[in-house]
Amino acid sequence: MMPEINVLYVDDEQQNLNSFKAAFRTRYRVFTAVSVAAAMDILDREEIHVLISDQRMPEITGVEFFKMTKEQYPHIPRVLLTGYTDIEVLAEAVNQGDIYRYITKPWDELELHNSVLNAYDHYKANRDLREKISELQKANDGLNRFVYSLSHELRAPIASATGILDLVKMEGKMDDSGEYWKLMDACIQKLDYYVSQTVQFYKTARFKVAQEQIHFEELVRSLIDLYRTSNGTKGIRFDVSVEEAHVFYGDVFRIEIVLANLLSNAIKCQRSGEPDKKVVVRIVTADDGARITVADNGTGMDTAETEKIFDPFFKGAQPGGLGLGLYILREALEKLNGTVTVDSRKGEGTVFEIYIPSNPENKG
């Protein structure tokens, strides 16, 4: 049994519409329209599987009609009937996806029938694909919410364990049990870092971009102060220069993620034997956006590593970490329409160049 196929045929000549309906009314559910307005009314009311139009109509050409309907009804295959050969128009329409197929008039009934069947198969395949994508999106959203909730719930026991260790440190008992307290402290810090990265990734992927005025000097200084509270910055010199001659508007949440991950990466990549460890930060705002440079004289990377650093879970030769920092940075930049380039030399250091466009018209 053939499936019920809804076909809409648009033509300014009523005789052609009648001929089409007479030929195919037993094969499909046929809708006809003598004008664009009538066709749009049918498209609004009915689920059309295949759209057919004559090319030469008084108010609009068939290709122009297809272009008009493409944006609102992109999933409907469009078949053009043309009584004359206009190769340039047809080639452009095919290349731009405005038509699925064209057939010359007078049409061959078998050719037109096969074209409708093929177009319907195309419509059905696209519909099935959209349904699968929707199902996968729902499953992915559910998984993301679960991971976020789990990570969020882990924060409480981590905070409790950290509090206990802080008491042990305050009472000077870290060395009472050999290396056990220190080992526990290191494990809890690593777990806290993993959880923080997971939450950060979720927020970067899901939260909407919000525009507000950004104060880079204040933002960078606060992040550096935060990192200085850990032992990882001991002996590192921070050289910061910020020129904010132009007001910059952007998403402070994602810009902070970008800067935090750049600084974290520069700190982790320091060489233990380097006598002058340094991280150089340069930020300049202009009319069009902000340019950020973060450089270090650390371990550096070879070309093979540089090509993979933005891949999720790629750790390279650096110890520790989850391998998500630079991946999250790139995800955040995509939301900001920003770009990143990296120049690195093994044993010499790494330079990250970031560009983020300003967006004052969308400020909150």
The b/e string for 14-24 (b: 16+ C-beta within 10 A; e otherwise) is eebbebbeeeb
The pair of structure tokens assigned to 112 is: 């037109």
User: Residue 360 above 70 pLDDT?
Assistant: no
DSSP secondary structure of 21-40? HHHHTTTSEEEEESSHHHHH
Of the pLDDT bands very low, low, confident and very high (cuts 50, 70, 90), residue 61 is confident
Query: Going by DSSP bridges, is the β-strand pair 78-82/349-357 parallel, antiparallel, or unpaired?
Result: unpaired
Of the pLDDT bands very low, low, confident and very high (cuts 50, 70, 90), residue 364 is very low
Bigger pLDDT: 243 vs 150: 243
- Of 133-137, 204-208, 329-333, the one with minimum mean pLDDT is 204-208
- Of 23-27, 271-275, 341-345, the one with minimum mean pLDDT is 271-275
User: Residue 232 above 70 pLDDT?
Assistant: no
Q: What are phi and psi of 352, to 5 degrees?
A: -105, 130
User: Residue 207 above 80 pLDDT?
Assistant: no
Question: Which of 82-86, 211-215, 293-297, 307-311 has maximum average pLDDT?
Answer: 293-297
Task: With H, G, I as helix, E, B as strand and everything else as coil, classify residue 48.
Answer: coil
Bigger pLDDT: 86 vs 16: 16
Place of tokens 């509270």: 229
Of the pLDDT bands very low, low, confident and very high (cuts 50, 70, 90), residue 106 is confident
pLDDT at residue 280, rounded to an integer: 96
User: CB-based contacts of 147: which residues, under 8 Å, 6+ apart?
Assistant: 198, 202
Give, in degrees to the nearest 5, the angle at Cα 128 between 119 and 334: 105
Q: What does the pLDDT average to over 233-242?
A: 90
pLDDT at residue 230, rounded to an integer: 61
Query: Is-contact 42 8, C-beta < 8 A?
Result: yes
Q: Report how far residue 125's alpha carbon sits from residue 118's, in angstroms, rounded to the nearest whole number.
A: 11
CB neighbours of residue 161 within 10 Å: 16
- Of 69-83, 88-102, 234-248, 272-286, the one with minimum mean pLDDT is 88-102
User: Residue 220 above 70 pLDDT?
Assistant: yes
If phi > 0 it is left, if psi is from -120 to 50 it is alpha, else beta; for residue 348 that is alpha
User: Residue 229 above 90 pLDDT?
Assistant: no
Query: Is-contact 112 3, C-beta < 8 A?
Result: no
pLDDT at residue 11, rounded to an integer: 92
pLDDT at residue 338, rounded to an integer: 94
Q: Report how far residue 165's alpha carbon sits from residue 191's, in angstroms, rounded to the nearest whole number.
A: 14
Q: Supply the pTM of this predicted model.
A: 0.53
If phi > 0 it is left, if psi is from -120 to 50 it is alpha, else beta; for residue 65 that is alpha
For the chain, give percent helix, strand, coil, nearest 5: 50, 20, 30
Bigger pLDDT: 147 vs 214: 214
pLDDT at residue 64, rounded to an integer: 86
**If you ran DSSP here, which 8-state letter would residue 362 be given?**
G
Q: Report how far residue 258's alpha carbon sits from residue 268's, in angstroms, rounded to the nearest whole number.
A: 16
User: Residue 259 above 90 pLDDT?
Assistant: yes
Complete domains list, the chain, with CATH? 6-107 (3.40.50.2300), 209-362 (3.30.565.10)
Q: Where are the alpha helices (DSSP H) in 207-301?
A: 216-228, 252-268
Q: What does the pLDDT average to over 213-224?
A: 92
User: CB-based contacts of 360: which residues, under 8 Å, 6+ apart?
Assistant: 211, 247, 249
> What mean pLDDT is reported for the chain?
84
Q: Report how far residue 40's alpha carbon sits from residue 35's, in angstroms, rounded to the nearest whole number.
A: 9
Closest CA to 83 of 62, 105, 61: 105
Question: pLDDT of 290-337, one tens digit each?
Answer: 999 999 999 998 888 888 888 876 766 555 555 677 888 888 899 899
Place of tokens 């960078």: 220
